Amino acid sequence: MSSSVELLFELGVLLIVLSVLGTVARRLSLPPVPLYLVVGLALGEGGLLLVPASGPYIEASAHIGLVLLLFMLGLEFSSDEFAESLRRHLPSVVVDTVLNAAPGAVAGLLLGLDAVGVLALAGATWVSSSGIVARLLGDLGRMRNPETPAVLAVLVLEDFALAIYLPVLAVVVADGTWWQAVLGVLVALGALLSALLASRRWGHHIGGLLSHPEPEQLLLRILGITLLVAAIAELINISAGVGAFLVGLSLTGEITGRVREVLAPVRDVFAAAFFLAIGLTIDPAALPPVLPGAVALAVVTAITKVLAGAFAAGRDGVDRHGRLRAGTALIARGEFTVVVIGLVGTAADPRLRALVAAYLVILGVAGPIITRLVDGVGSAGSSMRAGRRPGRPG
């Protein structure tokens, strides 16, 4: 079989499988993300190895999927309201960092890992998956929920904080000097603040430049500029997702509705590749020995992430169930965990990769399911309350 035929065959089968799984998930009133992750786990490294030709294509598509998920998320808000949300939630990201990085650091110390391992494990338990959370908010119809601005503020501020964390981790891995770490942090933060200010000040001009009456031209322009900005963001050690989010945030007015219409199907296809690719990077055979430790770490950091999300939503005056929805939405870990392991490479203890992989699978699968169950409980509770009449027994 020629390489092109093999590629087309593998991609065709994968798309059909993902379609079937998506249908099954929706019949069960569950998000499809956990099923996509499990399929990737079964097919990838150490699994059935059924995607030798399409693996690189899926990996490239996954990067585009994350970028489009965050871009579409940015479309839901104006730059002014989001800037205000960021200012209000600076204490939230401090609480989030302390509550969720500390368990990873403590676990690393208890395991006897070196400085690289401790710092990497702290990062892996700290940052939520922007891609998974963005998809969940859309699937569950939560974009306009009162707690959603707080969730987004935590996600984006976490990615902003990565501008400090990643240069430091890279220097520690390379055994570099303190001034190299400081220089990397200053460059990344300067670029990030410049991009945010540019988005707020000149964002209203971007829509006029990109708009076009033909859907094809609109799609090409929006997709092109989003990928370019994402690439520049990644080049200067800022998350590509943050760059894409800022592009979406800068678009206002009539163009946003048209962009959603033309880009939503493209986003969904590439987003499926993103979730599939996370599973493909993990060797299932490495998971059983570290499973007890990974489960314990997952339970602790699921609770601490719920507490952090509830604190953030509470700052916006959200009610108790809204605070619980905010916290559970942030449980899932994903793409950043893969980035951390890739960055430390062979410099870290071999146990670290297996532990983090198991941890990612547990929360990548359990997080969306818990989020959906909490959403269902809230909906049922709201329906029961709506059905009661004043003065009548419940």
Burial of 260 (0-12, 13-18, 19+ CB in 10 A): middle
Q: Assess if residue 245 is contained within a domain.
A: yes
Backbone angles phi, psi at 224, to 5 degrees: -65, -50
Residues 6+ positions from 1 with CB-CB distance below 8 Å: 9
Q: Quick check: 383 pLDDT over 60? A: no
Radius of gyration of the chain (CA): 21
Length of the chain: 394
Q: Residue 125 is part of which domain span? A: 75-378
DSSP state of 285: G
* Per-residue pLDDT tens digits for 196-252: 677 667 766 777 788 888 989 999 999 999 999 889 888 876 678 778 888 887 887
Q: Mean pLDDT highest for which of 212-221, 252-261, 349-358? A: 212-221
Q: Assess if residue 295 is contained within a domain.
A: yes
User: What is the tally of structural domains in the chain?
Assistant: 1
Q: Which two tokens stand for residue 263?
A: 């880009």
Q: Assess if residue 310 is contained within a domain.
A: yes
Whole-angstrom Cα distance, residue 188 to residue 183? Answer: 9
Q: Quick check: 116 pLDDT over 70? A: yes
Q: Mean pLDDT highest for which of 67-81, 166-180, 222-236? A: 222-236
Q: Assess if residue 52 is contained within a domain.
A: no
Lowest-confidence pick of 186-190, 229-233, 301-305, 367-371: 186-190
Q: Quick check: 58 pLDDT over 50? A: yes
Q: How many CB atoms lie within 10 A of CB 235?
A: 11
Q: Assess if residue 157 is contained within a domain.
A: yes
User: Predicted confidence band at 92 (pLDDT cuts at 50, 70, 90)?
Assistant: very high
Q: What is the pLDDT of residue 48?
A: 54
Q: In Å, how far from its chain's centre is CA 259?
A: 21
Q: What is the CATH number of the domain that holds 249?
A: 1.20.1530.20
Q: Assess if residue 189 is contained within a domain.
A: yes
Q: Quick check: 260 pLDDT over 80? A: yes
* Per-residue pLDDT tens digits for 21-53: 888 888 877 778 888 888 888 876 655 556 667
Q: Assess if residue 55 is contained within a domain.
A: no
Whole-angstrom Cα distance, residue 233 to residue 256? Answer: 22
Q: Assess if residue 67 is contained within a domain.
A: no
